[in-house]
């Protein structure tokens, strides 16, 4: 609840400086932070403890003293909850706790294990090559977000789930509204209801078929729904989560990474010519430095707990600010610098603890293949706009560029 004291707190979320899309917090905002665990004001009127150090973020995210259930009163919300959230959230295990969360997550762990992702690497390669062929055929200039960064992960997740890519305009629009923290709650509700209805219809048609299909949704129908382990409504929620998380995140990473790499011709060249280990290292540093889940991970304490020397009481909200934790100088020397040759693997861009990103092997494979092949095919790629004026997705939970005009 807002009060006089809350009104004096710095307003969160923070924005990048206008001329620097890579720095997550302006120097002025940073100066308003009163310590590594400090209170900030939320646009919904309340406040949250902002946890900014690497060690504290890890401690918070691995602790069972915090809930991820945003329907709890007092949860740190960046926008009011849309009406009908309850109806639209069945199966959304990213917002569940304890056994309820684990039960659904475990049904997907094998699908996203590294060895299974290796099997779809040839498919990722084909999707990337096709997108590059189309880009070269159409010739410069091009918007790299619309022609490459967005379609590549979108096509891959569609193939994996068994969702027709022909419907991408619809689900990309829904997911961008659902992630927009500035969007009207009624629009968010309509987007969530629409996406659930769309995926519900698709799942029903797979269920009605004698063979539901050899894709993730088909397999979950045969192995879990038909055995009575999983409700259809839960599967629909899992599909919504995977479809959104599966393309928005990687797409924004690709767009921002290219903008950054084109300022560093030495790294662009290393990406094209380097061995797997070099490319993996560059990708890890990009994940750390860009930390696209900019608004952090919201939680609520379910019991009293001490984080970074602060007592967080039961019922109080807390937000793990991954972007600052990933620039913590104690872990990443000179963390504000992009250094593709450093050991960045301790970064927290995929979160930490029980909710740590299940799709990370897939995301890493997509980034590695997409960026290395782009650099090989178009060594002379350059940005065709003033980088300071590129449209950014400042109000999205997943930060990125709305467009990236390029030429070659």
Instruction: Summarize as ranges the residues that interact with ligand HEM (CB under 6 A).
Output: 68, 93-94, 105, 157, 241-242, 245-246, 249-250, 253, 292-293, 297, 349-351, 355, 357-359, 362-363
Instruction: State the Cα–Cα distance between residues 91 and 72, nearest whole angstrom.
Output: 17
> In what order do the strands lie in the sheet containing 382-383?
142-143, 405-407, 382-383
We find the least distance from the C-beta atom of residue 119 to ligand HEM, in angstroms, to be 15
Cα 319 from chain centre: 16
Least spacing, CB of residue 3 vs ligand HEM, in Å: 28
Give the Cα-Cα-Cα angle 353, 287, 195 (nearest 5 degrees).
Answer: 70
Q: How far is the CB of 362 from ligand HEM (least distance, A)?
A: 5
Cβ pair 298, 77 in contact under 8 A: yes
Instruction: Evaluate whether 189 touches 84 at the Cβ level (below 8 Å).
Output: yes
Nearer to ligand HEM, 288 or 373 (CB): 288
Listed in order, strand segments (DSSP E) in 122-200 are: 142-143
Nearer to ligand HEM, 94 or 149 (CB): 94
> Is 379 or 394 the residue whose CB approaches ligand HEM more closely?
394
Q: Which is nearer to ligand HEM, 249 or 300 (CB)?
A: 249
User: How many angstroms separate the CA atoms of 288 and 213, rounded?
Assistant: 37
Closer to ligand HEM at the Cβ: 33 or 156?
Answer: 156
| Cα 142 versus chain centre, distance | 25
Q: How far is the CB of 336 from ligand HEM (least distance, A)?
A: 19
Nearest-CB residue for ligand HEM: 359
The residue (of 198 and 352) whose beta carbon lies closer to ligand HEM is: 352
- Helices then strands, counting H and E runs in the chain, come out as 16, 10
Question: Residue 383: which H helix or E strand, with range?
Answer: strand 382-383
CA dihedral 208, 214, 366, 374 (to 10 degrees): -100
**Shortest Å, Cβ 138 to ligand HEM:** 27
Taking the complex as a whole, how short is the minimal distance between the CB of residue 241 and ligand HEM, in angstroms?
5
Concatenated DSSP letters for 85-142?
HHHH-TT-GGG--HHHHHHHHHHHHGGGSHHHHHHHHHHHHHHHHHHHHHHHHH-SSE
Closer residue to ligand HEM, CB minimum distance, 52 or 249: 249
- Tell the smallest beta-carbon distance from residue 82 to ligand HEM (Å): 18
């Amino acid at each position: 609840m807002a009060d006089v004291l809350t009104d004096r707190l710095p307003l969160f979320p923070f924005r990048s400086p206008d001329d620097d899309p890579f720095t997550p917090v302006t120097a002025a905002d940073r100066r308003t932070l009163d310590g590594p665990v400090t209170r900030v004001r939320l646009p919904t009127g309340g406040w949250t403890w902002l946890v900014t150090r690497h060690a504290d973020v890890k401690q918070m995210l691995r602790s069972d003293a915090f809930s991820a259930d945003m329907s709890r009163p007092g949860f740190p919300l960046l926008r009011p909850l849309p009406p009908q959230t309850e109806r639209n959230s069945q199966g959304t295990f990213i917002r569940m706790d304890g056994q309820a969360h684990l039960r659904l997550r475990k049904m997907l762990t094998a699908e996203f294990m590294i060895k299974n992702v290796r099997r779809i690497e040839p498919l990722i390669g084909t999707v990337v090559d096709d997108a590059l062929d189309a880009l070269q055929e159409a010739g410069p200039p091009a918007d790299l977000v619309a022609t490459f960064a967005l379609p590549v992960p979108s096509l891959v997740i569609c193939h994996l789930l068994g969702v027709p890519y022909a419907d991408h305009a619809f689900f990309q629009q829904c997911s961008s509204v659902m992630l927009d923290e500035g969007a009207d709650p009624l629009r968010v509700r309509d987007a969530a209801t629409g996406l659930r209805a769309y995926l519900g219809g698709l799942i029903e048609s797979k269920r009605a078929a004698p063979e539901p299909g050899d894709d993730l949704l088909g397999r979950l129908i045969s192995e879990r729904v038909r055995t009575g382990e999983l409700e259809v409504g839960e599967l629909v929620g899992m599909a919504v989560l995977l479809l959104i998380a599966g393309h928005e995140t990687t797409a924004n990473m690709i767009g921002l990474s290219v903008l950054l790499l084109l300022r560093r011709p030495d790294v662009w060249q290393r990406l094209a010519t380097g061995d797997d280990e070099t490319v993996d290292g560059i990708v890890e540093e990009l994940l750390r430095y860009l930390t696209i889940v900019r608004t952090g991970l919201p939680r609520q304490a379910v019991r009293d707990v001490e984080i970074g020397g602060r007592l967080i009481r039961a019922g109080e909200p807390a937000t793990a600010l991954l972007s600052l934790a990933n620039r913590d100088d104690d872990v990443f020397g000179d963390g504000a610098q992009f250094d593709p040759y450093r050991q960045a693997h301790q970064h927290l861009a995929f979160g930490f603890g029980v909710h740590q990103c299940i799709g990370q092997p897939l995301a890493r494979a997509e980034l590695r293949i997409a960026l290395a092949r782009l650099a090989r095919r178009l060594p002379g790629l350059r940005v065709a706009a003033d980088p300071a004026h590129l449209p950014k997705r400042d109000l999205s939970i997943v930060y990125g560029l709305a467009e990236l005009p390029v030429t070659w």
